[in-house]
């Protein structure tokens, strides 16, 4: 294993951003940058032994600042959406940033995703990023401290560990927003990828992408990924949920799995690269890049609709306003701790 650190660029506000590279003995490697605690690149061998970068992203800091749609970034304080940018804790109502169409709070207002985090290497294969958000930032209560670590193992598994706490009672929901294309970032859309999600239910949404509170069975719907099927097979079905979101942008309620079994799996028939996802979170957001449109990314490649797919492990969206969902309001000083990993192999 080996770790490298180098200067990546300087933000418009004058902050230095660093890139860290971890390589294992088989030659697979990842790159992460301190801007947004972002997973910038994931190079994994394909069926011919050629390394392919299987996440979408940008070559320079300007791309991450000016054109990003959360590619690879850490998102929070509250990942996903909060209806009307409002929630109540201990009888007190908090109005937070409405950064999505002036109506909803998306990914905590984007603060963590666009901050420059403190960063350090821990040993040969672990990176640790940390960030402190001040009390009242984007309307959220308390001084919030977050820590994200990336570990690359010898068996090509990327482990993302989260730790956070706050000085006041508050909802906490952290995730990573990587867009995967297992054929390679420059290999078109992911509609031919096969995907399996161990989830018997999903949470349908209204036209503002806010969960209605219902948990709907996936059986007999385009949302049934309980066995492998192509992402594109049902994506254009005449289904209100798909029409509203222009594809998949929904939370799946993960079923319990036996130890060692993934909560989701995907593979590209072109590259032969397979990815398994393991998590201790109750839900995962499948997003199929429905609103990507001509975004210039790595090597000048344009990111367009369905160029990648996201598996964002999480508490369900709008949980603070949905008492029927698994809750994620943490007491002052209580730790949010979570672990998600993506393991790569060949089919």
Per-position pLDDT tens, the chain of length 347: 888 999 999 999 999 999 999 999 999 999 999 999 999 999 999 999 999 999 999 999 999 999 999 999 999 999 999 999 999 999 999 999 999 999 999 999 999 999 999 999 998 899 999 999 999 999 999 999 999 999 999 999 999 999 999 999 999 999 999 999 999 999 999 999 999 999 999 999 999 999 999 999 999 999 999 999 999 999 999 999 999 999 999 999 999 999 999 999 999 999 999 999 999 999 999 999 999 999 999 999 999 999 999 999 999 999 999 999 999 999 999 999 999 999 999 99
Query: Residue 146 has which token pair?
Result: 């977050």
Residue 84 makes CB contacts below 8 A (sequence gap 6+) with 98, 103, 104
CB atoms within 10 A of CB 265: 20
Can you give the pLDDT at residue 1?
A: 81
Whether 250 is catalytic is: no
Residues facing 66 on adjacent strands: none
The CA distance from 289 to 115, in Å, is: 23
* Closest residue by Cα to residue 182 from 339, 22, 45: 45
Can you give the pLDDT at residue 226?
A: 98
Alpha helices in 164-268 (DSSP H): 240-245
- Are 199 and 282 spatial neighbours (Cβ–Cβ below 8 Å)? no
Query: 176 lies in which domain range?
Result: 2-346
Can you give the pLDDT at residue 2?
A: 80
Can you give the pLDDT at residue 237?
A: 97
State the residue for tokens 């660093």.
18
Whether 240 is catalytic is: no
Give SS3 for 56: coil
Query: Residue 208 has which token pair?
Result: 């503002």
Asked if omega into 77 is within 30° of 0 (cis), the reply is: yes
- Are 177 and 310 spatial neighbours (Cβ–Cβ below 8 Å)? yes
Catalytic member of 64, 107, 177, 306? 177
Alpha helices in 67-152 (DSSP H): none
Q: What is the CATH number of the domain that holds 44?
A: 2.70.98.10
Residue 152 makes CB contacts below 8 A (sequence gap 6+) with 1, 22, 23, 24, 28, 29, 30, 125, 158, 159
Give SS3 for 38: strand
The CA distance from 83 to 205, in Å, is: 11
The CA distance from 275 to 257, in Å, is: 17
Count the domains in the chain. Answer: 1
Give 235's Cβ-side CA count (13 Å radius).
26
Rounded to 10 degrees, the C-alpha dihedral 287/187/47/161 comes to: -40
Angle, CA of 157, 159 and 164, to the nearest 5°: 175
According to DSSP, residue 187 is labeled S
What is the Cα 321 distance to its own chain's centre? 22
Can you give the pLDDT at residue 66?
A: 97
């Amino acid at each position: 294993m080996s770790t490298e650190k180098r200067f990546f660029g300087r933000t418009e506000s004058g902050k230095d951003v660093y890139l860290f590279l971890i390589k294992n003995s088989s030659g697979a490697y990842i790159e992460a940058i301190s801007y947004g605690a972002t997973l910038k690149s994931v190079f994994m061998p394909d069926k011919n032994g050629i390394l392919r970068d299987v996440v979408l992203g940008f070559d320079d800091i300007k791309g991450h600042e000016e054109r990003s749609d959360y590619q690879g970034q850490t998102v929070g304080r509250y990942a996903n959406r909060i209806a009307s940018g409002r929630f109540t804790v201990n009888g007190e109502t908090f109005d937070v940033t409405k950064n999505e169409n002036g109506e909803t709070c998306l990914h905590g207002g984007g603060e963590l995703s666009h901050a420059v985090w403190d960063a350090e290497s821990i040993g040969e294969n672990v990176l640790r990023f940390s960030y402190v958000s001040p009390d009242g930032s984007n309307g959220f209560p308390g001084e919030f401290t977050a820590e994200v670590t990336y570990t690359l193992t010898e068996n090509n598994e990327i482990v993302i560990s989260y730790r956070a706490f706050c000085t006041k009672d508050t909802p906490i929901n952290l995730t990573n927003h990587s867009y995967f294309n297992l054929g390679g970032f420059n290999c078109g859309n992911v509609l031919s990828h096969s995907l399996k999600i161990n989830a018997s239910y999903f949470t349908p949404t209204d036209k503002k992408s806010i969960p209605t509170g219902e948990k709907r069975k996936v059986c007999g719907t385009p949302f049934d990924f309980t066995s492998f099927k192509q992402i594109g097979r049902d994506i254009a079905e005449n289904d209100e949920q798909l029409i509203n979101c222009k594809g998949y942008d929904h939370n799946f309620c993960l079923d319990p799995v036996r130890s060692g079994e993934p909560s989701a799996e995907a593979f590209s028939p072109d590259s032969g690269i397979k990815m398994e996802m393991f998590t201790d979170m109750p839900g995962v957001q499948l997003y199929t890049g429905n609103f990507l449109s001509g975004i210039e990314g790595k090597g000048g490649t344009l990111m367009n609709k369905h160029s990648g797919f996201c598996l964002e492990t999480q508490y369900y969206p709008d949980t603070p306003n949905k008492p029927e969902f698994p809750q994620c309001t943490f007491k002052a000083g209580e730790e949010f701790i979570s672990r998600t990993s993506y393991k790569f192999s060949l089919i």
